[in-house]
Amino acid sequence: MRAALRLRARVLARRHLNPLDALLALGTVALAWVAGKQIGGSPALVANVALALLVAASAGLAHNLLYRARELTLLLAQPISARELVAVRFVELSAYGLVAGSVLAALVGGTGGGRGAPLAALALAPLLAATGLLVAWALRRWIGLALALPLVALAARSSAGPGELVLRLVRLEGGWPLVGASVLAAALALVLVPIGHGEAVNALAGRPTRRPILGFPRFLIPLPRTAAALVRRDFVLILRGAFPRGALVLLSLPLGLAVYGEAAKDRTLEGWQQELAALMTLGVLATVASFLFSIDFPRVRAPKQALERALPVRGGSVLVARTFEAAVPGVALALALATIAASGTNDAAERSTDIAIAGSLLALFCAHHGACYGLTTETQGPQAELAVSAGFPIASGTLVVLASLLLTIHPLTALVYPLTYGRLSGQAARIWERAEA
């Protein structure tokens, strides 16, 4: 069992112990804290729903780790018992649970007072792991039903239950039963989940591959055929779970709008300051979107590079595709920011149209800049990953600050972008086409 634990620890460390993942985890925790501050109504109800959501996610992950993961072929061929395998998975899931628990504790802590947030995160980690294992074990062949958990929590609209305990523990106002529940759930999982493991693996192995449910209609991508085909591939892959980390970050990007929500209500800020705040906020979010589509997702897809590279795809088409992909969430966020501005103070409301136009332009610039950066650096290999990731915020940050300032002065200053950054397109496309793979 120790060998299996060491093996899995090494795999997980290689996969997740990098500055990018650390930044994403810390960023999500910070965003959750900010989002917590925006919560009206009952924080305990929000905690209940969020907890149910995390348990469902943990169950999905546990199901895969217990019954479907490819490395099971290697692990189960060794003299390792079902009980030991479950223990290994419990440790793995607890590591993920620590991150998820930190996000939940931050969300709840943001609602007011979070001195106990680190303690709550520590208590939630094994709880999420154990409940995930138990749900995965109980549902086995019907794991899709785990998705009903957050819906049930939402429908119940109850402030009592585990959410209330999380809230109390985060505020250090009690909530100690949560720690007890965590220990109990762990013990139950370690005893119950190994039961019938072999039969379940056998039954699930015989299950035929499924017809995918989610697709992406071609008519929604108004691009030339080659670029449209690349965009459709990426959107379909994301919808079907090929890029879970990226999908999670994309889904959490709207939380960043909460940062501007405060500025829009601030009566001490003048109109131009409101617009600058909106554009700076958008710049950060659009940069994240562009990073995901132009650097991170291509990196995740790198093992499949031979397929794409062996096809007659011009660098220009890839550039157009990636710019479009990142511009879609960027422009959507710009319009959402303009809507927030419209409902803010008079000065912010007056500037909402300017924010919509300038924000959309800024999102487009960030998307294009990220796509050029990604194409230029994509084939530099794993040894350059850190340098590429670290260089991007600096390059993109410069663009965001300068473009936000100029666009605040007048939208027509957008013309400066093609004059200064336009030539990057041709260069990036050529580098990508000719790069060795």
Nearer residue to other proteins within complex by CB, 83 or 430: 430
Nearer residue to other proteins within complex by CB, 313 or 332: 313
Q: Which stretch binds other proteins (CB under 8 A): 288-296, 312-320, 339-347, 370-378?
A: 312-320
Q: Which stretch binds other proteins (CB under 8 A): 1-9, 147-155, 283-291, 309-317?
A: 309-317
Residue 203 touches other proteins, criterion: CB under 8 A: no
Residue 310 touches other proteins, criterion: CB under 8 A: yes
Q: How far is CA 270 from the centre of its chain?
A: 34
Residue 230 touches other proteins, criterion: CB under 8 A: yes
Give CA–CA dist 293/327, Å, rounded.
10
Give whole-number Cα distances, 94 to 69, 297, 388, in Å: 17, 26, 31
Residue 210 touches other proteins, criterion: CB under 8 A: yes
Nearer residue to other proteins within complex by CB, 240 or 423: 240
**Residue 256 has what DSSP assignment?**
G
Q: How would you label 26-41 residue by residue, b for 16+ Cβ within 10 Å and e otherwise?
A: ebbbbbbbbbbeebee
Find, among 27, 90, 28, the residue nearest to 61 by Cα: 90
Dihedral sign, CA of 338, 342, 348, 354? positive
Nearer residue to other proteins within complex by CB, 224 or 397: 224
Q: Which of 209, 222, 267, 382 binds other proteins (CB under 8 A)?
A: 209
Nearer residue to other proteins within complex by CB, 79 or 436: 436
Query: Is the separation of the CB atoms in 349 and 341 below 8 Å?
Result: yes
Backbone dihedral region for residue 43 (phi beyond 0: left; psi -120 to 50: alpha; all else: beta): alpha
Residue 409 touches other proteins, criterion: CB under 8 A: no
Instruction: Transcribe 248-294 into DSSP letters.
Output: HHHHHGGGGHHHHHHHHH-TTS-HHHHHHHHHHHHHHHHHHHHHIII
Q: Which of 206, 211, 219, 268 binds other proteins (CB under 8 A)?
A: 211
Residue 431 touches other proteins, criterion: CB under 8 A: no
Q: Which stretch binds other proteins (CB under 8 A): 27-35, 36-44, 165-173, 222-230?
A: 222-230
Q: Which of 1, 229, 349, 416 binds other proteins (CB under 8 A)?
A: 229
Residue 314 touches other proteins, criterion: CB under 8 A: yes
Residue 236 touches other proteins, criterion: CB under 8 A: yes
Nearer residue to other proteins within complex by CB, 237 or 399: 237
Q: Which of 62, 237, 253, 328 binds other proteins (CB under 8 A)?
A: 237
Nearer residue to other proteins within complex by CB, 39 or 250: 250
Dihedral sign, CA of 162, 167, 171, 173? negative
Q: Which stretch binds other proteins (CB under 8 A): 34-42, 117-125, 193-201, 228-236?
A: 228-236
> Coil, strand or helix: which one is 40?
coil
Q: Which of 219, 312, 412, 419 binds other proteins (CB under 8 A)?
A: 312
Tokens of 316: 């220009």
Q: How would you label 46-56 residue by residue, b for 16+ Cβ within 10 Å and e otherwise?
A: bbbbbbbbbbb
Nearer residue to other proteins within complex by CB, 392 or 432: 432
Residue 313 touches other proteins, criterion: CB under 8 A: yes
Give CA–CA dist 183/50, Å, rounded.
21
Minimum CB–partner distance for residue 313 and other proteins (Å): 5
Nearer residue to other proteins within complex by CB, 175 or 316: 316
Interior angle at CA 149, CA 143 and CA 154, nearest 5: 155
Nearer residue to other proteins within complex by CB, 65 or 334: 65
Residue 228 touches other proteins, criterion: CB under 8 A: yes
**Which residues touch 236 (CB under 8 Å, ≥6 apart)?**
212, 214, 215, 216
Minimum CB–partner distance for residue 240 and other proteins (Å): 4
Find the length of the chain: 437
Give CA–CA dist 110/259, Å, rounded.
13
Give the x/- contact pattern for other proteins in 285-304, rule: CB under 8 A. Answer: ----------------x-xx
What's the Rg (C-alpha) of the chain?
A: 24
Count of Cβ atoms closer than 10 Å to residue 390 Cβ: 12
Give CA–CA dist 203/100, Å, rounded.
30
**Residue 304 has what DSSP assignment?**
G
Minimum CB–partner distance for residue 384 and other proteins (Å): 17
Residue 15 touches other proteins, criterion: CB under 8 A: no
Count of Cβ atoms closer than 10 Å to residue 418 Cβ: 12
Residue 172 touches other proteins, criterion: CB under 8 A: no
Which residues bind to other proteins, rule: CB under 8 A?
208-212, 225-226, 228-230, 232-233, 236-237, 240-242, 301, 303-307, 309-314, 433-434, 436-437
